[in-house]
């Protein structure tokens, strides 16, 4: 395996954990901001990113047969960026 492929694969593995790492510190702040909300519901904020990763892994095989890896990678990164920007915009609106 080429070194660039290894670096790409390793960086993508790290990117998938960013959602959980970025949401985890916000749980305490969300609990304080929404005192009437069940604490378990607030903890789902951290769990949601992991739940969306699982179906994506099942789809990855089919996508890999139809599209080249670079197209899939770029589309995934764009969706990730749009999701992050959307989440931060929603947080600012509330």
Tokens read off for 4: 């660039």
Q: Report pLDDT for 47.
A: 76
DSSP secondary structure letter of residue 37: S
For residue 30, the number of C-alpha atoms closer than 13 Å in the C-beta half-sphere is: 16
Q: Report pLDDT for 87.
A: 64
What CA–CA distance (Å, rounded) separates 73 from 7? 13
Helix (H, G, I), strand (E, B) or coil at 68: coil
DSSP secondary structure letter of residue 31: H
Per-residue pLDDT of the chain (94 residues; tens, 9 = 90+): 688 877 777 777 777 666 667 777 777 887 888 888 888 887 787 777 677 776 777 777 788 889 888 888 888 888 888 877 776 665 555 5
What CA–CA distance (Å, rounded) separates 92 from 12? 28
């Amino acid at each position: 395996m080429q070194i660039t492929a290894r670096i790409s694969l390793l960086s993508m593995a790290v990117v998938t954990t960013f959602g959980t790492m970025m949401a985890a510190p916000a749980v305490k702040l969300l609990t304080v901001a929404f005192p009437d909300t069940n604490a378990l519901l607030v903890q789902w904020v951290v769990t949601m990113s992991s739940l969306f990763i699982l179906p994506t892994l099942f789809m990855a095989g089919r996508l890999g047969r139809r599209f080249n890896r670079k197209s899939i990678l770029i589309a995934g990164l764009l969706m990730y960026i749009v999701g992050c920007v959307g989440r931060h915009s929603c947080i600012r609106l509330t």
